[in-house]
Each structure stands twice: as structure tokens, then as C-alpha cells.
Amino acid sequence: MCWRREKLLNEGFLVACVGEAGWQVVRLQFPNMSLWIIQIAVVMLSLLISRSHQKKDPVLYCSACRAIVDELSYSISQVDPKKTINVGSFRLNADGTLQDKKVPLARSETYLSELLEEVCSSMSDYALYVDPDTQEKRYKRFAPRDNGGTESFPDIQNFKFDGMDSSSALKFACETILEDLDEDIISLFSQNTQHVADELCSGVSACCGYWIGCLDSPHG
């Protein structure tokens, strides 16, 4: 179904459609332009538009987004909630000095920024997991934490280890998400937002959504 029409020049216009394959140019009309030029323009525009809207692997990017949330949540949980940090304030004391403002260390922008710098390196601890009952695929953590936590892990035989390519792809997806959404991630965690994974991965980024492409959400 075509739903976008852009006027390009006087008496000329472009009609493009969006579907499962992304944007496609379906008609480029310039009454005063020779046919062969129009055909070349259509081909070139189709290539450019399809590349810029190429679909991202939903399993890979949804898993990367949820892995980011899991890793950050775990790191935050390891910090003493009583620890605070001074972040300053725009309010003034009676003597004209700035008021001190303290926030929990684990929820501070400084600490969260440090976590984001390292979080994608944890993607090497993840691999593709295939649910034995539903055959649903998702990248999950297979490696235990450094502190030997008691968290349970799925049966190792249901993981698919495809070498460095698999973890590299997940790391790249992680880095892509951070590049676009680092401020949104810090905001969600600093506000101690409930259901961060749903807010970030299904809402803000749409990487786990169904109707909008990953990172094509108007929020991103």
C-alpha cells in the first residue's frame, strides 16, 4: 500500500511504498524528462532507500537490547544502595552558594556512563539459545558471573555456539543500540523506571516490537 508522496521538482513527484521489504520506489514522474533518465533515477533511489531501511535481525537486536538491560541491572544490584554521589544543584543557599544534591551512586549519570562503556564486552558471554519446547530463538547468557552467583542458567545443550561470528554480531548490535540510545538508557535507569526492558526494548527502540523496525521508532 502506497502512503508517501514527495514532490521533488516542479511538476515532478516520487511515490514510494513501505512493506515487509522496506521502502520501495514505485513511480517517479517528470513529464519533461526522458524515459531512460527516469528509469536510472528509480533504480538508484530504490537502492539508496532499501539500504537505509534494511531490516535488522529481530532476534539479534531484541536479544542485544535485553542483554544490555540485564547486564546493567546486575551491575547496579552489586552497588551498596546507601552509597551516594554529589551531583550539584541549580538551587542556591541563602549565602549564594550552590546547594549540594546527592543521588544514589548506582543511579548517577556518571556511574551509568561508565557501565555503558563496558557493557557490550559482556556479549561474549551470550550465545543463541533455542527453546526445546517452542523452538523460539533468543541470545541468552550461558557463562556464570565472576562472583559465582546463584542465578540459574538454561541447559547448555540448547545453546548454539557458532564461534566468534555469533558473539561479534551480538556485540555489534549492542554497540549500535548504545550509539543511538545511550541517553535514553541512562534516563530510564537513573529514574529507576519499572520494567526497563519493556520500556527500552519494546517502546523506545522497538527492537522487540512488531510494527516498527528496530531503532526506527520516533523515540529513537
Asked if 77 and 177 sit in the same domain, the reply is yes
The count of C-alpha atoms lying within 13 angstroms of the C-alpha of 169, restricted to the half-sphere facing its C-beta, is: 17
Q: How far apart are CA 38 and CA 71, in angstroms?
A: 51
Asked if 44 and 76 sit in the same domain, the reply is no
Asked if 169 and 89 sit in the same domain, the reply is yes
Q: Quickly count: other Cβ atoms within 10 Å of residue 175's Cβ.
A: 14
Asked if 104 and 199 sit in the same domain, the reply is yes
Asked if 177 and 72 sit in the same domain, the reply is yes
Q: Quickly count: other Cβ atoms within 10 Å of residue 52's Cβ.
A: 9
C-alpha cell at 23: 521502502
- pLDDT < 50 positions in the chain: 1-11, 18-23, 25-26, 46-54, 218-220
Residue 141: closest CA among 93, 39, 69:
69
Domain tally, the chain: 2
Is residue 217 domain-resident? no
Is residue 109 domain-resident? yes
User: What was the pLDDT predicted at 20?
Assistant: 47
Asked if 78 and 30 sit in the same domain, the reply is no
Q: Rounded to two decimals, what is the model's pTM?
A: 0.69
Asked if 21 and 101 sit in the same domain, the reply is no
User: What was the pLDDT predicted at 183?
Assistant: 96
Domain of residue 76: give its range.
58-204
Asked if 125 and 180 sit in the same domain, the reply is yes
User: What was the pLDDT predicted at 110?
Assistant: 94
- CB 211 within 8 Å of CB 203: no
User: What was the pLDDT predicted at 26?
Assistant: 47
C-alpha cell at 138: 533468543
pLDDT digits (tens, 9 = 90+) for 47-91: 444 443 446 899 999 999 999 999 999 999 999 999 999 876 666
Angle among Cα 205, 186, 83 to the nearest 5 degrees reads: 150
C-alpha cell at 63: 536479544
Asked if 64 and 12 sit in the same domain, the reply is no
